[in-house]
Each structure stands twice: as structure tokens, then as C-alpha cells.
Amino acid sequence: MDFGLDKKHEMARTLFKEFAETEVKPLAQEVDETEQFPAETVAKMAKSGFMGIPVPKEYGGQGCDPLTYVMCVEELSKVCATTGVIVSAHTSLCIDPIMTYGTEEQKQKYVKPLATGEKLGAFALTEPGAGTDAQGAQTKAVLDGDEWVLNGSKCFITNGKVADVYIVIAITSVTEDKRGRKKKNFSAFIVEKGAPGFSFGTKEKKMGIRGSSTYELIFEDCRIPKDALLGPEGKGFPIAMHTLDGGRIGIAAQALGIAEGALDRAIAYTKERKQFGRSIAQQQNTQFKLADMATRVEAAQFLVYRAAMAKANQKVYSVEAAKAKLFAAETAMAVTTEVVQLFGGYGYIREYDVERMMRDAKITEIYEGTSEVQRMVISGALLK
């Protein structure tokens, strides 16, 4: 398959790799230990244009393709999955829906500062009672004169509190179908930090990606202007789903990066580590494990790049995105678990990064649609 990888992409990868090694890797351990959002790194990424890679230049972006963006998240995640998801949530879940559904005014107002990295973005769909099943959602928005009034709460929001701009999905009406079943109709809104009645609840303490700022969002009679509505009223659910299709490619790239990072470390470590008088890389058990992991990682890379190409060239890419995320996430989990095993006791202690990578990998099977949801999307298309 031709991914259209050319010299531009090669050089972009060199850039991302160098940035990741120099700016991100030295902080990865500390970011995990202290659970501190790496604000300085984000500022550096903004300066280098990493916060708006697939955004057209006229909106403050870099004018690159989705593949370049995916490579950025991949390279960052090789050394620090926290940094990877910050870029992914910002780009795929906040900028992308505004670019796709926003009015020209909204693009000018929001995309420009987001793409330059002056502002950070987030996306809020999940609620305590509504994860995979969005119909369980409670957050409502009611039009009151020239303002929408939001009430409810959102949870597990990546870039929560640190972000300036939030895409919030809320119920704007409830209709009954023919059989009398109630159906909630959603709309998407752009909510700025500082809007009256908008506050932050608990900061989540997580197993992995611990530097990522995960917060509860609280809306108490939160008033936002009428023109904060993103896309047509009542179309919030398809907007959210389409946004997540894109987001899944970012998370797939994150998972791919984690797997690649773990494999790189395993190769280096097994060559160096001696047991029974020879390096463990000289033992066939190690060699076969490395071979299996490398094969699997490359297969994941193919699926992820394929999905990025689909996003560049197709209107709908749900299945490609779902396959990429499903396979990359499960690869990340499997590879990091195996790598910890290869490291033995050293894999279990924090001095070596693989312990963190294994914890980080797990979330990729969960957020932006669990692996089960991805299987539903893929099988749904097969059995349509």
C-alpha cells in the first residue's frame, strides 16, 4: 500500500523524533511521577507548530496532511504517551469538529488560536451515566433569549481545566418515536473556559497517562451565546460520532507509538542484559518474541497510516479508524506486557520506562470508544 510517504514525511518524522527525544523524553518519568500537566512542553510544541498540523495555513495551522499529524502523535507517544494524547485530544477532538462543522466566524475565532497553540482544546461527551451508551447522558442546553443555558456535568475529560476551548455535547430536545420511546436529541456547543457557571470538579487519579489533565466539567446555569452552537441544532450526536472517528486515529497513533517505544527499549535491553553468560537477545525465546512483536507493530502501523490516508481522502472513515484503533490499542497492551516480562524485575520497577508504558497502554483500549465499541463499529459495517 502506498501511503504517499515522501521526503517531506521523512523530514517531519526526523523533526518529531528529535523534538520527542530532546524535549519530551527527559521529562516523561517526572510527568508520570508528579502527575503534572507538562505545560512547558505544550508551549514548546505550540512554538514548533505541533498544535495545528493538519489545519490549513489560513486558519493558523501548518497545512500538512493527517498522516503527518499521526506521525507526530506516534513519535511523541514513543517517549511519553501523556504528551501524545494532549496533542491528539486538542487536534482531533476540538479543532477538527470546528473545522468540519463550524461557521467561518467560528473558525476564525476559535481555530486560529487553537491551531497556533495559543489556546488548548478539549472535547466533552462522556458523563458519569453515559459512556459507551450516549443515550444515558443528562447534560442539557436550553435556549433562553440570546443565550444557551447549560446544566449537567461531564467526566473523564482529557485536557480538562488546562484547555481554553471545549466542545460540549448536550441534550437540546427530547422526542418520542412511533412506539412512544423517548429519544434524546443532542447538539454540539463551543464553550470557553471562564463562561459563567462553568467550573471544574475532581481531578481524576489515573493508572496511566498520568500527566494528562483529566477533569470533571460542571455546568450550573452556564450561559453561553446563542452562536456557540456548533453545526445544526439536533445534530450533536452525529457530530460527536464523526469527531470520534477522527479521534480514534489519533489514539491509534498514540497506541502505535507506545508499542514502538516499548519494542525499541526491549531490543536495546535484551542486547545488553546478560543471563547465563550471554545476552538474553541471544536466546531464541527472546528472538521469537521480538519477531512477533515487530511484526505486529508494523501491522498496526499499516492500519493506522491507512486510516490517516482515509481521513485525507474519504468523507467517511469510521471503519478504517475503528480497525486501526482496535488493533493498535491491543498491540500496545500486548507488546508492553510482553516487554515488561522480558525485562523481568527491571520491567516492574519505575527506573525503566516500560512499566509506565504498560500502564499507559491500557487506556488506549478504553477511551474514545472501547475495543468493544470498535468491534461493534467494524461488525456493524460488515453486517449492514
Q: Write out the residues near other proteins by the rule CB under 8 A.
A: 6-8, 11-12, 15, 18-19, 47-50, 53, 57, 61-64, 68, 72, 272, 351
Name every residue whose Cβ is closer than 8 Å to that of residue 338 and which is 6 or more positions away in sequence: 266, 289, 293
Burial environment of residue 302 by CB neighbours within 10 A (0 to 12, 13 to 18, 19 or more): middle
What would the grid cell of residue 177 be?
418515536
For 329, phi then psi, to 5°, come to -65, -45
Dihedral pair phi/psi, residue 350, rounded to 5°: -80, -10
Considering the complex, what minimum distance in angstroms separates the CB of residue 65 from other proteins? 9
State which residue, 44 or 161, has the beta carbon closest to other proteins.
44
Q: Considering the complex, state which of residue 11 and residue 291 has its C-beta at the smaller distance from other proteins.
A: 11
Distance of closest approach, residue 76 Cβ to other proteins, in angstroms: 13
Task: Supply the minimum distance, in Å, between the C-beta of residue 64 and other proteins.
Answer: 5
Torsion sign across C-alpha atoms 282, 286, 288, 292: negative
Q: Which of 79/170 has CB closer to other proteins?
A: 79
Which letter does DSSP use for residue 92 in this model?
I
Smaller CB separation from other proteins, 273 or 375? 273
Q: How many CB atoms lie within 10 A of CB 6?
A: 8
Q: How far is the CB of 120 from other proteins (least distance, A)?
A: 18
Cell of 289: 518474541
Residue tagged active-site, from 75, 272, 368, 372: 368
Closest distance to other proteins from the beta carbon of 194 (Å): 30
| 325 within 8 A of 255, measured Cβ to Cβ | yes
Contact criterion met (CB below 8 Å) for 369 and 92: no
Q: Other CB atoms closer than 10 Å to residue 362's CB: what's the count?
A: 19
Q: What's the closest the beta carbon of residue 66 comes to other proteins, in angstroms? A: 12
User: Smallest gap, in angstroms, from Cβ of residue 27 to other proteins?
Assistant: 12
Q: What's the Cα-to-Cα distance from 119 to each of 42, 164, 242, 370, rounded to whole Å?
A: 10, 6, 23, 29
In the bound state with other proteins, the residue whose beta carbon lies nearer, of 160 and 246, is: 246
- Of 53 and 114, nearer to other proteins (C-beta) is 53
Q: Which amino acid is at 16?
A: F
Nearer Cβ to other proteins, position 48 or 370? 48
C-alpha cell at 55: 489545519
Residues linked to residue 37 through DSSP beta bridges, in sequence order: none
368 classed as catalytic:
yes
Cβ contact 148:73 at 8 Å: no
Q: What DSSP character marks residue 93?
A: I
List strand residue ranges (DSSP E) for 178-309, in order.
Answer: 182-192, 198-203, 214-225, 229-230, 274-275, 278-279
Q: What are the residue numbers of the active site? A: 368
